[in-house]
Amino acid sequence: MASGLVALLDDVAAIAKVAAASLDDVAGAAGKAGSKAVGVVVDDAAVTPGYAMGFAPERELPIVAKIAVGSLRNKFLFLLPGALLLSAFAPWAVTPLLMVGGAYLCFEAAEKIIEAFGAHGAEHEAAPAAADPKALEAEKVKGAIRTDLILSAEIMAIALASVEGRPLAIQAAALALVGLLITVGVYGVVGLIVKMDDIGLNLARRQGRLARAFGRALVRGMPVAMRVLATVGVAAMLWVGGGIIVHGLDHFGLAALPHAVEAAAATAGRVPWVGGVLGWATTAAISALIGAGLGAALASALHLAGRLRGRAG
């Protein structure tokens, strides 16, 4: 009996070691995948607060919660199964799909820049006030979830490319972990951002002088912070989208542009003390320029096609 118990304990210990090793593999794969997708995560966190702004304060967090639930649905019902099917049956399609998504990010960024400098930007600002609040909220949530689908698809595709070659179970667990942690992190930050002005108002009403001063600074600073965040979101779209295109070109053997970017980053990286930061900034800046050029070309082509259709009609 004792020997049987010892054998059973040995089996349990062996299973526990395998489970621990599997968890280590999942955590390592998820960490690698998440780090690769950080640019798109920044973009997601920067873009989303705009969908919850302009509503009554008591509706801001419910709107963020609705978008977060939609994001989880996007990831777990559609993107995760799709990513695993791609990994199992069409791994060659991951890079082309990434490049299509990268081109879309560049196009979206170019459209935002055109709107910021174009005459129709004011029309977009004026429209929400005249709309029914419930209908406007539903429309904003739907638009945010649609945008999240694109960004989440980029995150999952980048994550999938990072765990390529791992067993399918490890891939599934790593993608699920990345999707869950990124969603909780992004929408937790978004919720904090959209309530920051209310936190400032609450602090401004406190007794302490320091709390009141900090609260007033928050209230005054949030509009500026939101504009900065919007700019960061557009920049992130450009550098992430451009970077995906550059890596895709390298994957397909069109290495001249990727090698030029790599050489420029290596040159900047040789600067003492700040070489690592300069190398990353150089890669990001060149990728953003490439993304801006591609996005402008796509936006121009789309607007031209729209005008030609209008004339034909």
The set of residues, in sequence order, having a beta carbon less than 8 Å from that of 107 and lying 6+ positions away, is: 294, 295, 298, 299, 302
Give mean pLDDT, residues 138-149.
86
pLDDT at position 28, please?
Answer: 53
Candidates 148, 174, 242; CA nearest to 31 is 174
Give mean pLDDT, residues 140-169.
82
Q: What is the pTM of this model?
A: 0.75
Band of pLDDT at residue 265, cut at 50, 70 and 90? very high
CA distance 154 to 108: 14
Give mean pLDDT, residues 84-110.
88
How many CA atoms within 13 Å lie on the side-chain side of 24? 6
CA distance 130 to 178: 40
pLDDT at position 164, please?
Answer: 75
The set of residues, in sequence order, having a beta carbon less than 8 Å from that of 195 and lying 6+ positions away, is: 57, 60, 61
One-letter identity of residue 35: S
How many CA atoms within 13 Å lie on the side-chain side of 255? 5
pLDDT greater than 90 at residue 81 = yes
What pLDDT digit, counting tens, does each position of 19-48 carry?
344 445 555 544 544 555 566 676 667 677
How many CA atoms within 13 Å lie on the side-chain side of 298? 20
Going from the C-alpha of 246 to that of each of 38, 164, 240, 267, 290, the distances in angstroms are 17, 19, 10, 18, 8
